[in-house]
Amino acid sequence: MKPRDRRTPMWCKVFVTVGLLCCELSAAAPPSEIVVDPEFTEPIVNVTVPAGRNVKLGCSVRNLGTYKVAWMHFEQSAILTVNNHVITRNPRITVSHDKHRTWFLHINNVQQEDRGRYMCQINTITAKTQIGYLNVVVPPSISDSLSSSDAIVREGANVSLTCHVDGYPKPDIKWKRDDGAHININKSLTVSEWAEPTLELHRISRLDMGAYLCIATNSVPPSVSKRIKVSVDFPPMLWIPHQLVGVPLGYNVTLECNTEAHPTSLHYWTRDSGQMLVDSSKYKAVSVQGNPSYKVQMKLTISGVEHTDYGVYKCVAKNSRGETDGTIRLYTSHPPTLAPELQRTENPSPSGIPALGPQWTTSDGNDLENGTSNNNTNANGDDDDSRLNEIKQSEQKYRKPKNSGTDSQKDVTKNSVPRLIPTATSAALVLTAVVLLQMQPFLCSRKRCSE
């Protein structure tokens, strides 16, 4: 029996050899490094900033290694910076970093076009990105060139006022009158304010004349406004408080006319002959501006009225839109004489006769002087006996003269009808009574005859 062969198979030897080789290579090779990709540590904070300010956006990373960080404007598809280099040509943009951990994008003097999304990107094999939003708010502003300017329109026309406003968020617009009055949009619509970019005024009148404010506001202060003045042109209009004015000889009297006109009219007084009256010792003309400014009160004072001063006077108002005039008739009247009991009450001067030069005025209750009476005048401009009735019925004020032995002049206002000393009319009544008394016997005898 042959002894058993104890040799190791060949395949086993090969396997052991390869295994030992691998062990040796493993023992000889240095350990491999574990590479970790960079990542973002914090999101980019969204920022809201008013236009004109400076802003800084931060992008925080870790394990950046040899990779690089870039900033881009997403809406504009523009690369702004890469690592420490500024790529854009915008001089307002710079970049900085904090030991390669936080990369800051700086934008100086922020403008509206800077608004949008900003992307921070790491250039790994598969790029890593994150996005933050920059919101640029803009306070309202009004463009003068695109908005309405001061307007001049004719009365009865339509006018349109516009206000062009910029700003972000979109501003709200409202219209108000500068004087606080209501706005008349049309005859059926009146508002305290109007919230539209355009203000339409239909069939404008002189009451709508004034300054209008366009006010723009949003969430960003300050608010702004534009003042637009609207002028309404119309021809002069005139009315006269007293068309007939009576005044005694030697008194001063003031004639009045009221006018409305725009633009401001030229005012002057004339006689019926057309002669213009100028300021002198006899005449003094003044014009008093009212409220609103298109109202004017014309006054003509005549000193020491003489016979030649009686007649017709004209007040004239003229502007570029037209001309108008009104007439006032000045007639002679007799100064009233107060009853004895009223004289004792008022303590007049011993003579009881006014001196020359007192001021003669009439109240608004005088129907004759308001032109509502139909009394006739004679060729000389003098009224008949009805003047006495007119004097009795009208409330008149006159200034008693200063006489020697009296303290001072006094204003006497007769609010009730005083008793007047009879003049021509009263004398006629007395004469009539005497005649009747003389004829009484004759009348009685005729009666007996008839019986």
pLDDT at 163 over 60: yes
The DSSP element (H or E) to which 424 belongs, if any, is helix 424-450
Kind of pairing between the strands at 224-239 and 151-154 = parallel
Say what the pLDDT of residue 344 is. Answer: 41
Say what the pLDDT of residue 397 is. Answer: 37
Say what the pLDDT of residue 439 is. Answer: 59
d(CA 112, CA 50): 9
CA proximity to 323, closest of 390, 402, 400, 270: 270
pLDDT bucket at 433, cuts 50 / 70 / 90: low
Beta bridge partners of 441: none
Give the CATH architecture of domain 240-401+411-432.
Sandwich (2.60)
Contact 304, 344 (CB under 8 A): no
Between the CA of residue 257 and those of 314, 331, 367, 368, what are the distances in Å?
A: 9, 17, 17, 16
**Could you read off the pLDDT of 114-144 as tens digits, one per residue?**
999 999 999 998 999 999 999 999 999 999 9
Q: Give me the mean pLDDT over the 207-212 stretch.
A: 96
For residue 101 the two structure tokens come to 């951990």
Q: What does the radius of gyration of the chain's CA atoms come to, in whole angstroms?
A: 52
pTM (two decimals): 0.61
Amino acid, single-letter form, for residue 73: H
If phi > 0 it is left, if psi is from -120 to 50 it is alpha, else beta; for residue 334 that is beta
Contact 315, 240 (CB under 8 A): yes
Where does the chain hold its CATH 2.60.40.10 domain(s)?
39-138, 143-232, 240-401+411-432
Contact 266, 296 (CB under 8 A): no
Say what the pLDDT of residue 302 is. Answer: 97
d(CA 401, CA 353): 8
**Could you read off the pLDDT of 383-404 as tens digits, one per residue?**
444 443 443 333 333 333 334 3
Contact 232, 215 (CB under 8 A): no
pLDDT at 341 over 90: no
Say what the pLDDT of residue 382 is. Answer: 43
162 vs 375: which has the higher pLDDT: 162
CA proximity to 322, closest of 242, 236, 400: 236
DSSP state of 206: G
- 39-138 folds as Immunoglobulin-like (2.60.40)
- Which CATH superfamily includes the segment(s) 143-232? Immunoglobulins (2.60.40.10)
Cα angle: 38, vertex 43, 48; to 5 degrees:
145
